[in-house]
Structure 1
Amino acid sequence: MAPEKAIQPAGDDDVRRAPSPQPHGEIEDLKEKQHQLDAAAEFVRVHQDEYGEITPEEERRVLRKIDMRLMPIMLVTITLAAVDKIVISNAALYGMQTDTGLVGQLYSWSGSIFYFGYLKLPVGKLLGTSCIIWSAIVTLMAATHNPPGIMVLRFLMGALEAPLFPACSIITVMWYKRSEQPIRTAIWFSGLSSLVTGIVSYGIGHTNTAVAPWRLLFIVLGGFTFLWSIFITIMLPDSPIKNKFLNEREKYVAIMRIKNNMTGTESKEFKFYQVREALTDWKTWPLVIFALCINIPNGGLVTFAAQIVSGLGYSKLNTTLLGMPTGVVMTLGAWSLAYPASRIKNIRCILAAGSCLIPLTCCILMMKLPRSNQQGLLASYYCFYFYWAPYVTVTSLPFANTSGHTKKTTINALMFIAYCVANIIAPQFFIAKEAPSYGTGYHAILGFISAGICMLGVYAVGIRFENIKREKFEAEQRAAGVDVDAEREAEALLDKTDREKLYFRYLY
């Protein structure tokens, strides 16, 4: 039977002849029997006759409701997680290293070990529960007295925060169109943590209590994170189908909005062949390598932020305030790339590669400017944080270019592992005896960012050739009388991979 051919897994670079057109109902019935429908496709199949056409105003109204519910929750949660992670830098400034014996490369390992915990990578969205437990771990940091205690708690924090990034990534894919994903990713991936850390640290630095300021930092931030975790446990929806803030009609609209993504939404069935495809798909690895390369600055600069700034000759209290503009640079940088990325097709790799030149230049300045040029070094340090913009921009590419729930989850995990590995190894390049210039660290960053730019070039060129091949195939099918639009409509919400969806187009 003709449709059987269209739904078999495709091999590498395999473009096959599409099936002959068939009635839409027959195609859907066949695919339902073969368990091809994901949860969203099943919901549409049940309700499509009941709900009919969707107006543009109705779609905009549902999008506003989705934004109002999801964006604040993801933004605050990501920010708090980053605050809890990076506050160790200011805690070190307030005497944690002296009180606990966390000296030399032991401090570097306290930065790295967090990401060993991140590699736990639990599957599923247990965000609220994880948040509750990690807030308790943050609070317990105040009770540590030696390096082993800090290492254990930092490892556990990483393990408990592990669901955060994968969850927010999957949420973005499930709820938003491909054109909307860059802006939404930039919103929830904003670098506001340094603003929160700076304000809280500066305030605590003025306290005069029996509790050491660095211990008070962990108590205050852990308590606030705990309160927020209760809120998100109640308010964060599971999916466009499983939520309480949209009615049934609005759920239908939410699903139909993202139908043309052709990436599906959610499937409870684990499909091993999709894991295999993710691992053997050439498109996976340039992005994974880029994620590793661009996060070397993240692992180094974030862990040693206070040490770098104080090394320029600033006092402890001033250092806490001078760290705040880094979050502004990260956020504005990501937002500045998100808008053109969402409006202009196939510009994301060019934007990301071009913006990598900014941290590349700053890296050279941090190495070459004389230590007496305090203002020049501080300005270079601030602009260095523009590295976040290309990372956020590229993060939206696997969202847009991957179909099949298991394949999406696998690639998401690989990107996250790359992020973790980068943050594990980066602090080791910042050698204590080289402070405050950290020459080895900056040389490492220079090399990794350069390699990342090369990976973006490989990805963009490869994707362009992939699309040309698919466009040629589609033209042949149309010339042969195949109803391509009907075929594309039939496969849009199926839990099949982008390779298997013959009319899928990639972005770059």
Structure 2
Amino acid sequence: MPISASDGDHLRARKGANVGGGADIAAALADQFSNEPDYDREEEVKLRWKLDLRLIPILWLNIVLPAMDKITPSTAALYGFREDLDLKGEEYAWVGSAFYFGYLLWCFPSAQILQRLPIAKSMCAVMTIWGFVLIGAGFAHSFIPMIITRVLLGALEAPVAPGNFIIMTMWYTREEQPIRAGLFYTGLATLITGTCGWAVGFLPREYGWRSFFWITGGVSILYGVVVGIFLPDNPVKAKFITERERFVAIERMRADQTGIENKTFSRTQLWEVFKDPKTWLMFFFNIWVSIPNGGLTNFAPLIINGLGFSSQRSTLLMMPTGVIQTLSSYVCNFGVYYCAKRFTNMQLRGAFVIGGLMVGMIATVLLYTLPLDSYTSRLLALYWSYFYLGPYIVALGMNSANTAGHTKKVTLNAVVFGAYCVSNIIGPQFFKSAQAPLYPLGMGAMLVAYALSIVTMMLYMLYCWRENRRRDKVDDTASDQRVHADTDFQDLTDFENIHFRYVW
């Protein structure tokens, strides 16, 4: 249960006690650095730039390349993919959904992998393997082999996005996280797939879409090696920073009370995930908000093709969707960061989520109501319907920032990305082939999903606001990190830690 007044007294009496099960990996190092002189603003800024230049490009590619691999069937569909595999009825929609069955099945095992094994090395392994699987998909000649490869690809991607957010929370404070999430979580994969998809259009038909799979698979294998060499597992083991910089990196995280990493699995924290109201609010939010993604990822190229554009031109016209997604990410995440700096006593993350979702909702209404012969207007409406990405990323950042305790963090990530999978399995099923190119059922599902997302986010914000007020009544030291010795790096959860405050 959330902290009450008696809980606050109980925690204050347990100086240095660990309720979660094993201290954070930074605890011993923090004690070792206890006599280290405090760092200044110049040192912190210098370190932050060093981290940004090393980590953000890798975290960005960790998102871009899986996104590129994920949408290979939708680009391939423009070059005879459905005909060559003899896909009938709604089988193409199931090719899109199959990826997320694999993702869903492996969500919780991947959470254990992320906790028990080195994160960066695990991500290196799965990226390399999925490159080989993607190449194998290019040799498929029927529905069943393609479904198998899509399920395997989904399972292999399951640790990547959650791992990205865990790495971000190891290195960046809660104030810094939104802008970094906005920088690495973009839609720019369409610029690569659009260019590559246009180029393979010049190849003989029997090699066109297959070459697209082979090229993206080869790139993934090469990149997996890069991750293994250059991405550190955590601040304690990172070799690219000095001992002094390691001290600054760890001390910067102290006030957030979220810890760095803990390899000890805690059953108490596991069960707390499922007792936490925030878990279910964020679960259902991710169910609703990802339905547009599930539908548009697989059917947007066909919608554009249905407007009368050629296959090659359709691949190029898909590129602006990534630009809109990236714009959405920058507007929402940079907006959250700016407002947090400018208005220190205001919580506006949820407001940016709701505002961004309303943009996507309006675009979907236009896409549904505009005449079929209004080609330019319908194309622009389709582009702006991709504005959902920014709100989705802000919400993922809220989820990470509002969770403490390493077992709880990795488990909650599995729950949230499990919801993402369910939604992406459901989403394509609303887009019926017989309803092309308007897809009225799909558009209606997107509108309902946007409305439910907004309502759920409002409830999440209300819960966090009420819980913060309750904690303020029993603890007035939350903003003073000097009195946090009883809870610093003790792997306490946000429920157990009297000093923890939620962002909303």
Q: TM-score, normalised by structure 2?
A: 0.93
Name the residue aligned to 2:5. Answer: 15
User: 2:126 and 2:11 mapped to 1: Cα distance?
Assistant: 49
Name the residue aligned to 2:62. Answer: 77
* Cα distance, 1:489 vs structure 2: 3.9
1:128-155: CA deviation from partner (whole Å, max 9, x where unpaired): 0100110001111111100001100111
- For residue 304 of structure 1, the aligned residue among 294, 299, 302 is 299
User: 2:376 and 2:462 mapped to 1: Cα distance?
Assistant: 40
Name the residue aligned to 2:213. Answer: 218
Q: Which amino acid is the alignment partner of residue 396 of structure 1?
A: G
Name the residue aligned to 1:174. Answer: 170
Q: Report the identity percentage.
A: 36
Change (3 A) 1:38 1:20: closer
1:227-248: CA deviation from partner (whole Å, max 9, x where unpaired): 1111111111100111111122
More displaced stretch, 297-306 vs 489-498: 489-498
Name the residue aligned to 2:28. Answer: 42
Name the residue aligned to 1:7. Answer: none
Q: Which amino acid is the alignment partner of residue 298 of structure 1?
A: N
* Cα distance, 1:37 vs structure 2: 2.4
User: 1:352 and 1:201 mapped to 2: Cα distance?
Assistant: 32
Q: Is the 8 A contact 1:356 1:390 kept in 2?
A: yes
- For residue 500 of structure 1, the aligned residue among 486, 496, 502 is 496
Change (3 A) 1:230 1:211: farther
Q: Which amino acid is the alignment partner of residue 364 of structure 1?
A: V
* Cα distance, 1:179 vs structure 2: 0.6
Q: Is the 8 A contact 1:21 1:486 kept in 2?
A: no
Q: Is the 8 A contact 1:40 1:493 kept in 2?
A: yes
- For residue 192 of structure 1, the aligned residue among 184, 188, 193 is 188
SS at match of 1:261: coil
Q: Is the 8 A contact 1:474 1:484 kept in 2?
A: no
Change (3 A) 1:377 1:45: same
Q: Is the 8 A contact 1:261 1:492 kept in 2?
A: no
* Cα distance, 1:488 vs structure 2: 2.6
- Aligned ranges for residues 422-441 of structure 1 at < 5 Å? 422-441=423-442
- For these two proteins, the number of residue pairs brought into alignment is 486
User: 1:380 and 1:332 mapped to 2: Cα distance?
Assistant: 15
User: 1:249 and 1:503 mapped to 2: Cα distance?
Assistant: 27
* Cα distance, 1:21 vs structure 2: 7.4
Name the residue aligned to 2:53. Answer: 68
Name the residue aligned to 2:460. Answer: 459
1:340-391: CA deviation from partner (whole Å, max 9, x where unpaired): 2123241010111111111111111111111011111001000000011110
In our comparison, the structure showing a higher alpha carbon Rg is: 1
Q: Does 1:89 align with 2:80?
A: no
* Cα distance, 1:18 vs structure 2: 2.8
SS at match of 2:448: helix
* Cα distance, 1:492 vs structure 2: 2.7
Name the residue aligned to 2:88. Answer: 103
Q: Is the 8 A contact 2:366 2:378 kept in 1?
A: yes
- Aligned ranges for residues 136-151 of structure 1 at < 5 Å? 136-151=132-147
User: 1:281 and 1:94 mapped to 2: Cα distance?
Assistant: 47
* Cα distance, 1:42 vs structure 2: 1.8
User: 1:94 and 1:307 mapped to 2: Cα distance?
Assistant: 11
Q: Is the 8 A contact 1:292 1:418 kept in 2?
A: yes
SS at match of 1:177: coil
Name the residue aligned to 2:344. Answer: none
Change (3 A) 1:94 1:292: same
* Cα distance, 1:103 vs structure 2: 2.9
Q: Which amino acid is the alignment partner of residue 38 of structure 1?
A: D
SS at match of 1:391: helix
- Aligned ranges for residues 254-269 of structure 1 at < 5 Å? 254-269=249-264
Structure 2 residues not aligned, in runs of 5+: 341-346
Q: Is the 8 A contact 2:324 2:386 kept in 1?
A: yes
Q: Does 1:410 align with 2:411?
A: yes
User: 1:484 and 1:54 mapped to 2: Cα distance?
Assistant: 17
User: 2:21 and 2:433 mapped to 1: Cα distance?
Assistant: 57
Name the residue aligned to 1:116. Answer: 101
Structure 1 residues not aligned, in runs of 5+: 1-10
SS at match of 1:143: coil
* Cα distance, 1:171 vs structure 2: 0.4
Change (3 A) 1:57 1:203: same
